[in-house]
Amino acid sequence: MNWTALDLTILGPAFLAGLLVVATHIPLGQRVLARGIIFLDLAVAQVAGLGLIAAHSLDWEPGAWQVQVVAFATAALSVLFLHWTERRWPQIQEAVIGSLFVLASSGSILLLASNPHAGEHLKGLLIGQILWVNYMQLVPVAILYGLILLQWFGFPQRRSSLPFYLLFALAITASVQLVGVYLVFATLILPALAVRHCKQRALWYGYGIGVVGYGLGLILAALLDLPAGAVIVYTLALIAILIGWFVNRAKD
Amino acid sequence: MQKIFKTGLTLVMLLLTMPAMARLSVFACEPEWAALAAELGGERVTGYSATTAKQDPHHIEARPSLIARVRNADLLICSGAELEIGWLPLLLRQAGNAAVMPGRAGYLEAASLVQRLEIPTSVDRSMGDVHAGGNPHVHLDPRHIATIGKALGQRLAELDPAGSAYYQQRQQDFLRRWQQALERWQKQAAPLKGMRVVTHHRDWVYLFNWLGMVTAGTLEPRPGLPTTAGHLVNLKQELARSPAKMIVHAAYQDDRAAQRMSQLSGIPVLELPYTVGGAAKAGDLFSLFDVTLARLLAAAS
């Protein structure tokens, strides 16, 4: 046990990043699950990552706006493509998404072939570095997510196919850089799975799972001295199972 | 009841008087510097190493405790010369401890205190993980340990003036024992002079420079890049022309590349501890060099 790490100024920025991701990914995740395109986020997140790495190889600074534009453009291209394949060949959509994921991952490895920090970059993309987040980094993400939520809850009729795919690409491009592919997937899918049978309040249960999962995960990571991102994936799963069980029992 | 109350009171008193016997908290990026701080600081210092001998000091996982430890540290000692460039700047920024920022008394960069080798005339990305400040693996020349030990001893006394006599006495004692060991090692290692060795990464140049050994090639085509098949074939042809005695890798490095090269060339593989804790018997700085030399001599004969 390590109590000194239990410090709000250490865990605060990471928790706030988690709250931002939770705010947008809970409603998006329920939609992804309802549409049955679970691996869409893994593929799009990986493509956004590929875009980030490509922008890096062009020698742009990690925080530069060009990098963000490239990352979002590649993610948007991939969702446009997937939107098209969903209409063209709906029965093989999952297979196409899976193939895109593998191509994007392998593409990142090829782009990083001559980079001595390749391993770090690839791992950073997957498990993220939520603890290295600082408040300044969160400001643009908070503004972006505010706009996404406004669009989502303000114009529910536009949640149909194409606008959904584009909002999704935008949200994931930002969240992947904050918390990594694994946490993005876990935040989208685990809470949505737990409350899939809920008619009402599914959204609030989902938010509850997200907030408690991130909070508990960060506290455990601090106490047990473990990498934070991976611990949060597990606490999200644990809370999702508990709440899912509770919600289903209450219904019977 | 009264007994419980008394015990409780004693405990509270103990906790209240804790700061009076607070020790200097030293955060080391690598185990060798934590070991040096333990030699020089004794019981006035608590040391912590961010990496272990089984971890590559170029990389690190972000854990909350690392930030907390830097935040509470009085002194930070790291190899520097960009060895920790992938994680230390982030860690320092996140911890926000002004006392251990570069340029302050609480920040000690070991590599800056010694003559570095392999300082490039120009650096660009195509060269791989080349450090502009030169090769950062300075601790493997034991003469450097003495130089850095002097600076660390002074720094400890500066940060904890009440213990300056204590630090001075420990430093003199350490340097005397180190000098004796150094003379013994130099005598022992005489047969190693001129020996050609293939290494995994260029982390042995200071050891080889000290002992007059020769790097016959590296398994990495460029520093930090994984081995490629083409590079191994080229290296094999080079070794056929001018042979090497062994292939050396550090305890923290995956030995698959070394084993593959060994199959290709018939040259035996040797694992060396690289730092304190890298082998069962290398528990401190003295035994680190004892084990390293013993293994090199055994493999050379």
Q: Which residues of A touch B223 (CB under 8 A)?
A: 116
The H or E element spanning position B47 is: strand B45-49
Could you read off the pLDDT tens digit of each residue along chain A, which spans 252 residues? 677 777 888 889 999 999 999 999 999 999 888 888 888 888 998 898 888 888 877 767 666 788 888 889 999 999 999 989 988 998 898 899 999 999 999 998 888 877 766 777 777 778 777 888 888 889 999 999 999 999 888 887 766 678 888 889 999 999 988 898 899 999 999 999 999 888 778 899 999 999 999 999 999 998 988 888 999 999 999 999 999 998 888 766
Distance CA B151, CA B154 (A): 5
- Given B179, B211, B231, the domain boundary residue is B179
In angstroms, the separation between the Cα of residue A140 and the nearest Cα of chain B is: 19
What per-residue confidence (pLDDT) applies to B71? 93
- How distant is the Cα of B185 from the closest Cα of chain A, in angstroms? 35
pLDDT over 70 (residue B130): no
C-alpha A186/C-alpha A210 separation (Å) is 9
State the pTM of this model.
Answer: 0.80
Q: Which residues constitute the domain of residue B25?
A: 2-179
Answer whether A160 touches B (CB < 8 Å): no
Of B65, B90, B129, the CB nearest to A222: B65
Please check whether residues B270 and B289 belong to one and the same domain.
Answer: yes
**The domain that contains B145 carries what CATH number?**
3.40.50.1980
Residues B144, B242 share a domain: no
Closest Cα in chain A to B128: A116
Q: Is A126 on the interface with B (CB under 8 A)?
A: no
When scoring A3, A9, A127, A131 by the number of chain B Cβ atoms within 10 A, the one with the most, hence best to mutate, is A131
- B67 CB neighbours in chain A (<8 A) are 5, 10, 131
Is the Cβ pair B93, A134 closer than 8 Å? yes
Q: Say if residue B175 is in the same domain as residue B211.
A: no
Burial pattern B114-151, b for ≥16 Cβ within 10 A else e, equals bebebeeeeeeeeebbbbebbbbbbbbbbbbbeebbeb
Name chain A contacts of B73, Cβ cutoff 8 Å. none
**Cβ–Cβ of B63/A226 closer than 8 Å?**
yes
B138 and B156 inside one domain: yes
Q: How many whole angstroms separate alpha carbon B244 and alpha carbon B122?
A: 30
Query: B198 to chain A, minimum CA–CA distance in Å?
Result: 20
Whether residue B184 is contained in a domain is answered as no
Cα B117 to Cα B134: distance, rounded to the nearest angstrom: 6
Query: Range with the lowest mean pLDDT among B15-19, B174-178, B225-229?
Result: B15-19
How far apart are the C-alpha atoms of A9 and B294, rounded to whole Å?
A: 48
Partner-chain contact A117 B86, CB within 8 Å: yes
* B225 located within any domain: yes
Please indicate, yes or no, whether residues B259 and B291 belong to a single structural domain of this protein.
yes
Burial of residue A1 (CB within 10 Å: 0-12, 13-18, 19+) is exposed
CB contact at 8 A, B213 and B193:
yes
pLDDT band of residue B123 (cuts 50, 70, 90) is: low
Instruction: Inspect the interface and report whether the beta carbons of B68 and A129 lie closer than 8 Å.
Output: no
Which residues 42-61 on chain A approach chain B with CB closer than 8 angstroms?
Answer: none
Torsions phi, psi of B114, nearest 5?
Answer: -125, 165
- Taking only the tens place, the pLDDT of each residue in B1-60 is 566 666 665 655 555 554 445 689 999 999 999 999 999 999 999 999 999 998 888 888
Instruction: Report if residue B69 sits inside a domain.
Output: yes
B85 vs chain A: nearest CA distance in angstroms? 11
Q: Do B65 and A227 touch (CB under 8 A)?
A: no
Are residues B227 and B283 located together in one domain of the fold? Answer: yes
For residues B163 and B198, membership in a common domain is answered with no
Q: Is A7 in Cβ contact with B71 (below 8 Å)?
A: yes
Mark which of B155, B179, B203 sits at the end of a domain: B179
Give residues 95 to 114 of A whose Cβ lies within 8 Å of B: 114
Contact by Cβ (8 Å): B143, B182: yes
CB contact under 8 A, B62 and A132: yes
Torsion sign (Cα): B69, B71, B75, B81: positive
Question: How close is the nearest chain B Cα to the Cα of A227, in Å?
Answer: 5
pLDDT attached to residue A107: 92
pLDDT digits (tens, 9 = 90+) for B62-117: 788 899 999 999 999 999 998 998 889 989 998 999 999 999 999 999 999 999 99
Give the pLDDT score at B19: 46
Between A120, A218, A221, which is nearest B86 by CB? Answer: A120
Q: How many domains in chain B?
A: 2
Query: Do B41 and B121 fall within a single domain?
Result: yes
Contact A114 B61 (CB under 8 A): no
Q: Over pLDDT 90: what percentage of chain B?
A: 69
- CB < 8 Å to B63, chain A: 5, 131, 221, 225-228
Residue of B nearest to A130 (CA): B62
Q: Look at A160 and B248; give whichever has higher pLDDT.
A: B248
Q: Other C-beta atoms within 10 Å of B42: how many?
A: 17
When scoring A60, A121, A132, A138 by the number of chain B Cβ atoms within 10 A, the one with the most, hence best to mutate, is A132
Confidence band of B205 (pLDDT split at 50, 70, 90)? very high
CA distance B74 to A208: 40
Distance CA B234, CA A198 (A): 64
Same domain, residue pair B150 and B217 = no
Tell me which of B260 and B170 has the higher pLDDT: B170
Q: Look-up: residue for tokens 């993980």?
A: B129
Give the per-residue pLDDT at A145: 95
Residue B38 covered by a domain = yes
Contact A131 B126 (CB under 8 A): no
Q: Which pLDDT value is given to residue B1?
A: 55
ipTM: 0.71
One-letter amino acid identity for B220?
A: E
Contacts of A120 (CB under 8 A, 6+ apart): B59, B86
B68 belongs to a structural domain: yes
- Where is the domain boundary, B158, B179, B200? B179
- In A, residues 6-35, which contact B (CB 8 Å cutoff)? 6-7, 9-11
The answer to whether residues B149 and B28 belong to one domain is yes
Contact state of A225 with B65 under an 8 Å Cβ cutoff:
yes
The verdict on B153 and B209 lying in the same domain is no
| Residue at B216 is within a domain | yes
- Interface test mutation site (partner A, options B52, B58, B94, max chain A beta carbons within 10 A): B94
Instruction: Say if the Cβ atoms of B67 and A5 lie within 8 Å.
Output: yes
Question: Which candidate, A121, A120, A126, places its Cα nearest to that of A229?
Answer: A126
- In which residue are the tokens 């409780």 written? B8
Instruction: Report chain B residues whose CB lies below 8 A from the CB of A120.
Output: 59, 86
User: In the predicted model, is pLDDT for residue B170 greater than 90?
Assistant: yes
Residues B129 and B253 in one domain: no
